[in-house]
Amino acid sequence: MAAKITVNNNGPLKIEGEFEIFDANGNKYDLAGRTVISLCRCGQSNNKPFCDGSHARCEFQSQVIATILPPPKPKV
């Protein structure tokens, strides 16, 4: 199954399916076989980039609705 990303209202990004996650240096996270994880959006997690539920404690607010992105600008 291709990766599916769900942006949860007032919460994390939920990723399901087959995916890999890398840090800024190109090192791959060991996800221990997980096919579902949540990534922090509130910035308060003690286990970044993964969600630890801090969004509920800090009352993170972010309502999301899918929109259409404009086409990318041509590279010059």
DSSP H helical ranges for 2-70: 54-57
Q: Which residues pair with 39 in a beta bridge?
A: 13, 50
User: Mind listing the pLDDT tens digit for each residue in 7-63?
Assistant: 999 999 999 999 999 999 999 999 999 999 999 999 999 999 999 999 999 999 999
- For residue 36 the two structure tokens come to 């579902």
Statement: 1-63 belongs to CATH 3.30.365.10? no
- Tokens found for residue 10: 């007032």
Q: Where are the domains of the chain?
A: 1-63
R_g of the chain computed on alpha carbons: 15
Global confidence as pTM: 0.89
* Whether the predicted pLDDT of 76 surpasses 80: yes
Whether residue 49 has a cis bond before it, omega within 30° of 0: yes
